[in-house]
């Protein structure tokens, strides 16, 4: 997944354009009430969202080649950024997004900001979709980010109150091309896995049907990352 400078710039441009187009679509919809009921319009917006999702999953959502550089990254700051990118969808679906840290932090990890963002966007995208899939009146659906320290390692939990996965689904979810969603492409988690390997992050998944899912990421101890930059 090493992306040359051009691709990083290119993906940023695409992201920007799509954001602008989406803004225009929202504007048009707000000025023409009848569009909200038009099934072709609705379908077009859904297809557009899927495309947006795909771009986010495979391309680095970052402006600067510098963000691919290995540097200390503040995880709480990164999650605030992720939360604001998802604000529209979270609001629309009434999903709470909580960032908790105990001890309070800061939580610095050594790595590439763009890769971390890409990994987290994929996990949050799945969490949001899992919540949307859950039928019936869900009580306060939410995504919770929890940070802690264990024996020199930063431990990050990303939990959602979505539909969860069966044991069988859990064993295959990380494979490329495996999706259990009608419009899924099965790329997201394989990208997460790839980036985690590159950054020596251990990933563990825990899920229960109709309860939700938690991804646990254990970051390498500081000494380790210093000796072996990836």
Ligand X SMILES: Nc1ncnc2c1ncn2[C@@H]1O[C@H](COP(=O)(O)OP(=O)(O)O)[C@@H](O)[C@H]1O
List contacts with ligand X (CB under 6 A): 122, 126-127, 130, 160, 162-165, 173, 178-181, 184-190, 213
Smallest distance, Å, CB 104 to ligand X? 26
**Residue 165 contact partner, candidates Mg ion, ligand X, none, CB within 5 to 8 A by sort of partner:** ligand X
Can residue 126 be called a binding residue for Mg ion (CB under 5 A)? yes
What backbone phi and psi angles, to 5 degrees, belong to 222?
A: -55, -45
User: 173 with 165: CB under 8 angstroms?
Assistant: yes
Smallest distance, Å, CB 216 to ligand X? 12
Which candidate, 41, 45, 42, places its Cα nearest to that of 53?
A: 45
| CB nearer ligand X, residue 165 or residue 201 | 165
Binding mask 171-200 for Mg ion (x = CB under 5 A): -----------------x------------
**How far is it, in rounded angstroms, from Cα 171 to Cα 164?**
13
Which candidate, 120, 139, 117, places its Cα nearest to that of 217?
A: 120
Binding residues with Mg ion: total (CB under 5 A)? 2
**Cα angle value 226/4/185 (rounded, 5°):** 95
| CB nearer ligand X, residue 106 or residue 177 | 177
C-beta nearest to Mg ion: residue: 188
**For the purposes of burial, counting CB atoms within 10 Å of the CB of 69, is it exposed (0-12), middle (13-18) or buried (19 or more)?**
exposed
* Tokens describing residue 112: 């590439």
Binding site for Mg ion (CB under 5 A): 126, 188
């Amino acid at each position: 997944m090493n992306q040359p400078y051009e691709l990083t710039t290119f993906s940023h441009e695409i992201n920007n354009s799509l954001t602008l187009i989406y803004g225009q679509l929202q504007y048009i919809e707000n000025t023409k009430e009848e569009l909200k009921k038009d099934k072709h319009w609705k379908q077009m917006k859904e297809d557009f969202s899927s495309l947006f999702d795909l771009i986010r999953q495979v391309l680095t959502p970052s402006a600067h080649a510098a963000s691919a550089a290995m540097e200390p990254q503040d995880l709480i700051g990164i999650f605030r950024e992720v939360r604001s990118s998802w604000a529209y969808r979270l609001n629309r679906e009434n999903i709470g997004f909580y960032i908790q840290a105990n001890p309070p932090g800061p939580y610095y990890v050594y790595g590439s900001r763009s890769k971390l963002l890409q990994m987290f966007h994929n996990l949050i995208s799945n969490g949001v979709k899992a919540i949307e899939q859950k039928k019936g009146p869900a009580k306060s659906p939410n995504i919770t980010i929890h940070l802690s320290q264990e024996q020199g390692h930063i431990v990050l939990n990303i939990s959602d109150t979505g539909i969860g996965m069966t044991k069988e689904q859990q064993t295959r979810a990380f494979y490329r091309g495996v999706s259990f969603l009608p419009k899924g492409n099965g790329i997201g988690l394989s990208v997460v896995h790839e980036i985690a390997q590159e950054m020596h992050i251990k990933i563990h998944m825990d899920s229960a049907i109709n309860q939700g899912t938690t991804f646990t990421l254990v970051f390498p101890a500081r000494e380790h990352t210093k000796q072996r930059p990836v």
